[in-house]
A = this chain, B = another copy of it.
Amino acid sequence: MGATKTEHFTDKQNALATLTKALGHPARIAIMEYLIKVDACICGDIVNHLPLAQPTVSQHLKELKQAGLIKGEVEGNSICYCIDEKAIGKLLSYFTALANRIEKKNSCC
C-alpha cells in the first residue's frame, strides 16, 4: 500500500487535498511567503533565501507549480515565479465556508 486511494473520494476532496498537501511543508510555506513578501514576481533569488540546496528548492517549486499554487514563466536565463491567486482564492473560500458551517452548529465538545 502506501499509495493514497484517491479514487474513493470526490474530485473536490482530492483537489483540495492536492492544494493543502503542497502547502504541507514548511519550505513550501516559506517559498509562498517569500513570493508575497517581495513586491513582485521573483526571477531567481529564491534559492539564496532558503536553507536548502538548489535541487531541493527546485523540487519544491515544481510541486507548488504542479499543485497550481504558483506560476512560472521563463524570462531570459532565469524563471519568474509568482503566486497563482486563484489557488489562494480556492483555499480561502473553502475555509471560509467551513468556518461558517461550524459557527452555525451547537458545539457539543
Chain A interface residues (CB < 8 Å from chain B): 4-6, 8-10, 13-14, 16-17, 20-30, 32-33, 36, 39-41, 51-52, 71, 73, 80, 82-83, 85, 88-89, 91-92, 95-96, 98-99, 101-102, 105-109
Count copies of this chain in the complex: 2
Q: How far is the CA of A39 from the CA of B9 in the complex (A)?
A: 21
With known contacts A20-B23, A88-B102, A51–B108 Cβ distance under 8 A? no
The distance from the CB of A8 to the nearest CB of chain B, in whole angstroms, is 4
Q: Which 4 A-B pairs have the closest CB atoms?
A: A21-B24, A9-B26, A8-B51, A20-B23
CB-nearest residue of chain B to A21:
B24
